[in-house]
Structure 1
Amino acid sequence: MTFLDVHVLQSVPPSNLNRDESGSPKSAIYGGVLRARVSSQSWKRAVRDVFLADPDLAKDGGLRTRQLPRVIGDAVTARRPALGAASDLIGTAATLALFKKVKLAKNKPITEYMLFLGHDQVERVADTLVAANLEQVADEPDLLRERITGLALHELGIKGHAGAVALFGRMIADAPELNVDAACQVAHALSTHKVVADQFDYFTAVDDESRRQDETGAGMIGTIEFNSATLYRFATVSIRDLLANLDGEIDRTLDLTLAFARTFATAMPTGKQNTFAAHTRPDLILLSVRADQPVNLVGAFEEPIKAPEGGIVPASVAQLFTYHGQQDEMYGTGPVSSALVYPAWLGNRVRDEKQIDLPAAQPLASALDAVRQVLAEQITT
């Protein structure tokens, strides 16, 4: 068993990265006090968005949608415009062949629930459909469906998973053979300290045309809730499960593990970013390779950090490493290897103010390279 644990401490200024049904920033009670919270789903979505936008990761991007019939139909039509009139039928038949027991929503070309498929898998499905010379039966719906049904598309849905599907998994109740157990787990981010509830940004919007006519008053008045926090974030990747989901491809497993770690650490949710531009990067990243079990260190902050003179971040770092060391001593197990990323000022502050010497820091790229080497040794031994 090998796991890569990713621990992140990150300060976020006034923001509303992840809101509830009333528009308020999500929160939770932990250690008896109110904490800022960002859901795991929100940060996983941010990771998937980076995968789609980064050319080096796009091949591992995944599509989660109810509109897979249209997506497949459009991909086929892009290759063979002559099949445009039969696009909906082709996409629908292909989706039903891929996922077999999946139902359509009231016979419309959308599925009852969202399906998760890799972009590469969609492309392979489209290539298979084009190679089947569907033009010959495009005007015969029954024959068209029959030909598509005979293409063994189902196999394309259960093999050759995109990285996003291999990492985050897929659950299809109607077709359990298509389920993919997630290789990564992501915790809800929590503030290391108590947060103040009900902070509001009161704003007004000026009507430019009214202003030109020397009229007074606002064109719009409103409020937006926000909070600010130092967040502890945690994710873990099961190397064994990821390797299985990627059909035993060792190099790809290592590449994807590191891509996830880097992206999880640096990606940001998009909630209300146009309003707050809270695009921060982590203050500290701890990468731990473990051979026993994943270990979430949020217990370091069950007693909330109280705003000290030196700031929340150094105090959070000191409390995290104190707790980490005591946990390892208590259970007699620790990481196989760890790599740390933090700026010099933070190490100096923790040493001078908290009398804790942190292990040496590395640039993120160097830390990831070191982790890759350790993971490769763990996989092959």
Structure 2
Amino acid sequence: MNRYLCLHGLTTHTAVLLVRDANGRPKELPFGNAVRTLLSAQTERRADRTYLREQANLGQGPLAQYAFGMRTREWAPLTARELVKWQWDEHAALSMAKEALAGLGLNFGTKINNHHLTKVLIFAPEDTAAEAATILEQHKAEMQQWLTRVTEERDKAARNAKRSKNRKKSPEEEGAEEADEKVDIPPLPTAVKQKLLSAFAPRDALDIALYGRFLAEIAESPNVDGAIQTMGSFTVGPASTVDDFYSSADDAKLTRRRESALNVFDDPGAGMTGYQSLCSGTFYSHSVVDRVKLRRTLAASTGWDAQEVEAAANAAEAAFIDAFCNAVPAAKANTTAASGTLPNLLLAFSSNRPHNYASCFEKAIETAPGGPAASLQAVRRLLAQHHMIIRKCGIEPGRVLSYDLDTEAVLDELRLTGDLSCQVTDTLDEFINPTPLSSPSATDAKRTEVAV
């Protein structure tokens, strides 16, 4: 099995704002001889991961029967909500949940609006709150005694802080004040701690295996090195941005105008005006799945046998290809309809090392009146790059899929001239699970396919 599944895509977006910078404008990236519009890797990964979860929740896709993770700061309130189902008092449940998670090493906010939220997002299996609540219920008496000791320590620290507040401090004491405010709470009972660690372990959450997690606050809980690499997408041509002026009508004002033509109290202007930045262009995207790492992670975290690990890994690969094709960031979805966009071209192949083709777009693609569109020039350039890598590196040809009429014509042309090494697939199912060609014709003898 080749270790890396390499995915490449070209997608044309028109008048969108899929991600913005701190000033509300499209992100940009200087690359080659031009500044490009950038779609950050974090945005793409979020869109892909959300798409995988939504499909599974609908009972669709290869991962419909598998568990997922949840990334949130609300594990204490979620655990408390589960404890209430065990007939716990709501206030006592929240206090117990927060202190138990703090006992694991999680840090919480210090302000009124976030003191029950962890300081960082914690990526854990989606049933972690239910598992943690069950553990706390099973050890209720022991944990209530532990919580009493914790409360006493916190009260003692608060009294000491109040006494020291009014006396004059030396410079050394002032420098150590922040450290003194930290309360050394009694350690969690060993059995409870081990069970809670298991609840927060990655276990069988497929998206944690795919995307990984870094949980520095709980030293005993394993981190996961993600199996997916994602490059930020960028336009194949120079950045193309417009500041779109908009005006919004005030419905109440319009109603009064209709009722009285002589209303002199209303400002005749619009209810609100402003600008929004929009961008257009053909974006090159690239992702890689480390198939070996994915299988190792599943084997280490799930306890499944080799057959179960292989089935889950194959399902995860298929689902990710689906997401790479269909997932679109949801920013301004209602005012741009970007979520309905499909790629101009998809390319997939496997190799024993990743292959990033960003360099073939270092020279920005320029368009001229009456000349070929940037997307078609990008298709030819990407396929030419892949054709060269096949020849020089001996990798498998892979397969392509298009959702664009003009790109389909380019594929037909390249196939007839013998310059297309890939297998052309017609549906996403064929693209995900290609079948080897049994008797290729003379015109497309180079169209070989080795199933990933």
The alignment's TM-score, normalised by the length of structure 2, stands at 0.73
Deviation of 1:213 (Å): 1.9
Task: Kindly indicate whether the alpha-carbon contact (under 8 Å) linking 2:53 and 2:68 is maintained by their aligned counterparts in 1.
Answer: yes
Matches within 5 A, 1:281-360: 281-290=342-351, 292-307=352-367, 309-330=371-392, 332-335=393-396, 338-343=398-403, 345=405, 346-352=407-413, 356-357=419-420, 359-360=423-424
Deviation of 1:294 (Å): 1.0
Partner of 2:118: 111
Deviation of 1:43 (Å): 1.0
Q: Deviations over 1:285-320 (max 9, x none)?
A: 112122x21111111211122225232222211100
Deviation of 1:128 (Å): 3.5
Q: Extract unaligned runs of 5+ from structure 2.
A: 151-187, 258-265, 300-305, 436-449
Task: Kindly indicate whether the alpha-carbon contact (under 8 Å) linking 1:82 and 1:135 is maintained by their aligned counterparts in 2.
Answer: no
Q: 1:344 to 1:170 in 2, by over 3 A?
A: closer
Deviation of 1:9 (Å): 0.9
Q: 1:263 to 1:135 in 2, by over 3 A?
A: farther
Task: Kindly indicate whether the alpha-carbon contact (under 8 Å) linking 2:343 and 2:403 is maintained by their aligned counterparts in 1.
Answer: no
Deviation of 1:153 (Å): 1.6
Q: Extract unaligned runs of 5+ from structure 1.
A: none
SS state at 2:247 partner: strand
From 95, 105, 116, give the equivalent of 2:101.
95
Partner of 1:75: 82
Q: 1:15 to 1:186 in 2, by over 3 A?
A: same
Partner of 1:267: 327
Q: Deviations over 1:318-375 (max 9, x none)?
A: 1001111223333x2313x62221147322135459965464223111221239xxxx
From 221, 246, 251, give the equivalent of 2:273.
221
Q: 1:2 to 1:81 in 2, by over 3 A?
A: same
Task: Kindly indicate whether the alpha-carbon contact (under 8 Å) linking 2:135 and 2:195 is maintained by their aligned counterparts in 1.
Answer: no
Task: Kindly indicate whether the alpha-carbon contact (under 8 Å) linking 2:6 and 2:289 is maintained by their aligned counterparts in 1.
Answer: yes
Partner of 1:65: 72
Give identity over the alignment, percent.
22
- Count of residue pairs brought into register by the alignment: 367
Q: What is the distance in 1 between the residues matched to 2:108 and 2:404?
A: 56
Q: What is the distance in 1 between the residues matched to 2:382 and 2:8?
A: 10
Task: Kindly indicate whether the alpha-carbon contact (under 8 Å) linking 1:70 and 1:109 is maintained by their aligned counterparts in 2.
Answer: yes
Runs of 4+ in 1 over 4 A off after TM superposition: 135-140, 143-148, 350-358
Task: Kindly indicate whether the alpha-carbon contact (under 8 Å) linking 1:120 and 1:162 is maintained by their aligned counterparts in 2.
Answer: no
C-alpha RMSD over aligned residues: 2.9
Q: Deviations over 1:254-296 (max 9, x none)?
A: 1112111211221110112222122211121112122x21111
Partner of 1:169: 212
Q: What is the distance in 1 between the residues matched to 2:135 and 2:312?
A: 25
Partner of 1:234: 286
Partner of 2:263: none
Deviation of 1:8 (Å): 1.1
Query: Does residue 276 of structure 1 match 2:336?
Result: yes
Partner of 1:182: 226
SS state at 2:90 partner: helix
Amino acid at match of 2:246: F
Q: What is the distance in 2 between the residues matched to 1:165 and 1:94?
A: 23
Q: What is the distance in 1 between the residues matched to 2:34 and 2:145?
A: 66
Partner of 1:156: 199
Partner of 2:7: 6
Q: 1:241 to 1:94 in 2, by over 3 A?
A: farther
Q: 1:76 to 1:258 in 2, by over 3 A?
A: farther
Amino acid at match of 2:281: A
